[in-house]
Amino acid sequence: MEKGYVQVYTGNGKGKTTAALGLSVRAVCAGKKVFFGQFVKGMEYSELKCTEFIDNLEIEQFGRRCFIYEEPSEEDITAARNGLEKISNILKSGNYDIVVMDELNIALYFKLFTVEEALKAIKGRVTHVEVVITGRYAPKEIIDIADLVTEMKDVKHYYYNGVEARQGIEF
């Protein structure tokens, strides 16, 4: 690709990470190399096993645990900041065609680092690198620099009827 664009998947509906994973699989099947960095997440999600089956896809988590119902700890902040630094270096390297910043918007919402720091990393990328950003609460500054923004809208969800998250579907 000569020019990489910035894509954002946001909103309160299900499917943001799933969309980014689908795009990643499509890209590697087209011969592209993908780095998939997950902010905030530190649990054993099923997608972490993708790399056992798919070449040219690297997934790394920059979170420790789920803290969405409490304040992030210093360790959570450090993990996210280290992840942003790693992704910034990856974006500058040009070694990957697509870089996914999964749950970047959540990391920003919880102030694990600043919007300005995230924008600096995104804007500092090699021009051919496509960036995919996920997470609800996308700030205006991220939407403004994006070339494509898709909002997932929660119309109906079985979670509200007591269905717990299922392995292979939600995690």
The pLDDT tens digits of the residues spanning 52-110 come to 999 999 999 999 876 667 788 899 999 999 999 999 999 999 999 999 999 999 999 99
What pTM was computed for the model?
0.92
How many whole angstroms separate alpha carbon 12 and alpha carbon 31? Answer: 32
Q: N- to C-terminal Cα distance for the chain? A: 31
Q: What confidence score (pLDDT) does residue 66 get?
A: 66
How many whole angstroms separate alpha carbon 85 and alpha carbon 163? Answer: 37
Q: What confidence score (pLDDT) does residue 35 get?
A: 98
For 78, phi then psi, to 5°, come to: -60, -45
Q: What confidence score (pLDDT) does residue 90 get?
A: 98
Q: DSSP string of 65-79?
A: S--TTSPPPHHHHHH
Which strands sit side by side in the sheet containing 6-10, from one edge to the other? 57-62, 34-39, 98-102, 130-134, 6-10, 148-151
Nearest alpha-carbon partner for 112 in 138, 86, 139, 74: 74
Q: Identify the three-state secondary structure at position 44.
A: coil
**Residue for token digits 């090699």?**
126
Residues 41, 104: contact at Cβ < 8 Å? no
The pair of three-digit structure tokens given for residue 141, joined into one six-digit string:
């500054």
Residues 67, 4: contact at Cβ < 8 Å? no
